Amino acid sequence: MEIVCEPEDDVFLAIAKAMDEMVEDSVDCYWVTRCFVKQLNSKFRDSLPQLPKAFEQYLNLEDSRLLSHLKACSAVSKLPYDLWFKRCFAGCLPESSLQRVWDKVVSGSCKILVFVAVEILLTFKMKVMALNSAEKITKFLENIPQDSSDAIVSKAIDLWHKHCGTPVHSA
C-alpha cells in the first residue's frame, strides 16, 4: 500500500521534525506540533497568503535595489515562500533560532516570518546580487548557511520592532 502525502502533511512533518529537537518527549512533540500547526491553519489562515506581498513591501523599504535585482531575475515569484511562511522556516533555520521565531508566532505575530525572510535577504545581499537567475537564487535561499542564523533572527526581531512597534509585554 502506498501512502500519499498531501502538502499539509509535508508542512506538519517539517515542523514536527524541528519540534522533535526542541521537545524531549515524543508524545509532547506530537501535541505541541499539532497545536502549532492548528494555530497556523486557523488563526493565521487569512494572514499567511498575504505574507509574500508584505515581504516584498518591507524588502522594498529596507533595500529597494535588492528587490529590483530579484525582479530583474524574475525571482520574486519563485522565492521559497512555502519553506518560509507555511513551514515557518522549519528545515531552513536551526532549532535554536526557530525557537525565538516560533515564540513570536505562538504569541500571535506571524508577521515575524516576513522580517526573518527580509533579514535573510539583507544578510546574504552580496551573494544574492551575484546570482543572476531565479533558480540559483531560490536554491541558495533554500539552503542558507546556518552559522549566521542567530544574528539573522536577532536582526529580524529588531526589524519587526522597527516596523510593527514594540510589543506591550516587552516595553
Answer yes or no: is pLDDT of 108 > 70: yes
Q: Say how far apart CA 50 and CA 114 lie, in whole Å.
A: 10
* β-pair partners for 90: 93
Alpha-carbon Rg for the chain in angstroms: 16
Q: What is 45-164's CATH topology?
A: Cyclin A; domain 1 (1.10.472)
Residue 10 grid coordinates: 509535508
pLDDT confidence bin for 7, thresholds 50/70/90: low
**Cα dist. 12→37, 40, 49, 168 in Å?**
7, 11, 18, 31
Q: What is the pLDDT of residue 154?
A: 96
Nearest partner of 127 among 152, 149, 146, 145, judged by Cα: 145
> Where exactly are the structural domains of the chain?
45-164
Entry field: residues in the chain: 171
* β-pair partners for 170: none
Per-residue pLDDT of 54-98, as tens digits, reads 999 999 999 999 999 999 999 999 999 999 999 999 999 999 999
Per-residue pLDDT of 15-35, as tens digits, reads 999 999 999 999 999 999 999
Answer yes or no: is pLDDT of 171 > 90: no
pLDDT confidence bin for 9, thresholds 50/70/90: confident
